[in-house]
């Protein structure tokens, strides 16, 4: 499955939006958007993407796949399933939930999942990397639980994120979609009168004011 295949699949299921006017979660504006929520209802397409990740890491000795809530739960399940099929034995899937700490936002493994990570080799998966914050917090949570992170895999790298930024030995992304963005004051789409997409991102809130 090549990067072109991944981008074509995302476009086919309506998960890749280009040539539009999007307001991102950060409040900045841009012309493209990866709507991972449009991918997940399509189990075959989601499974194919995670199978490619599994193939890439098949020789890494992975015992557990971990992702952040919410989308990372689906990614972890599918990737662990395909790794198990390739390796001939069960690979576990767990997820890290968001919590507030004294230092701000963090991720933690609850429900006894931390015990499943101790002493095991772990692959961290994420759907969209923009700032890399969620994936980085999962990497830290795995290490705090006594697991060894062997790599991070993502469906799409939007922010030019690197393995070093995530604190991981390897980063594997199925596709890269450059994140071109502007502040609302500097947005050329606003200046040209291009309507804001109110169905995706924070467009509706922006228009409402």
* SS3 assignment, position 179: coil
Q: What is the pLDDT along the chain (209 residues), one digit of tens a residue?
A: 889 999 999 999 999 998 999 999 889 999 999 999 999 999 999 999 999 999 999 999 999 999 999 989 999 999 999 999 999 999 999 999 998 777 678 899 999 999 999 999 999 999 999 889 999 999 999 999 999 999 999 999 998 999 999 999 999 999 998 878 899 999 999 999 999 999 998 999 999 98
pTM over 0.85? The answer is: yes
Q: What tokens does 82 get?
A: 């395909």
CA-CA distance, 60 to 79, in Å (whole number)? 13
Nearest Cα to Cα of residue 98 among 113, 89, 109:
109
- Cα 175–chain centre separation: 11
Residue-level length of the chain: 209
Angle of the 43-56 helix axis to the 71-87 helix axis, nearest 10: 60
Domain coordinates in residue numbering, the chain: 3-208
CATH architecture of 3-208: 3-Layer(aba) Sandwich (3.40)
């Amino acid at each position: 499955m090549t990067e072109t295949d991944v981008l074509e699949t995302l476009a086919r299921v309506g998960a890749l939006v280009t040539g539009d006017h999007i307001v991102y979660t950060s409040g900045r504006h841009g012309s493209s958007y990866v709507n991972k929520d449009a991918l997940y209802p399509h189990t075959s397409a989601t499974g194919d993407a995670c199978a490619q990740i599994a193939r890439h890491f098949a020789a890494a000795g992975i015992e557990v796949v971990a992702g952040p809530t919410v989308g990372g739960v689906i990614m972890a399940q599918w990737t662990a399933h395909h790794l198990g099929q390739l390796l001939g034995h069960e690979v576990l899937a767990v997820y890290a939930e968001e919590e507030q700490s004294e230092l701000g936002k963090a991720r933690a493994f609850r429900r006894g999942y931390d015990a499943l990570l101790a002493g095991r080799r772990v692959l961290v998966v994420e759907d969209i990397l923009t700032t890399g914050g969620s994936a980085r917090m999962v990497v830290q949570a795995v290490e705090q639980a006594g697991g060894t992170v062997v790599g991070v895999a993502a469906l799409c790298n939007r922010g030019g994120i690197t393995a070093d930024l995530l604190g991981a030995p390897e980063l594997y992304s199925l596709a890269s979609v450059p994140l071109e963005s502007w502040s609302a004051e500097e947005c050329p789409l606003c200046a040209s009168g291009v309507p804001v997409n109110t169905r995706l991102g924070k467009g509706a809130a922006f228009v409402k004011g």
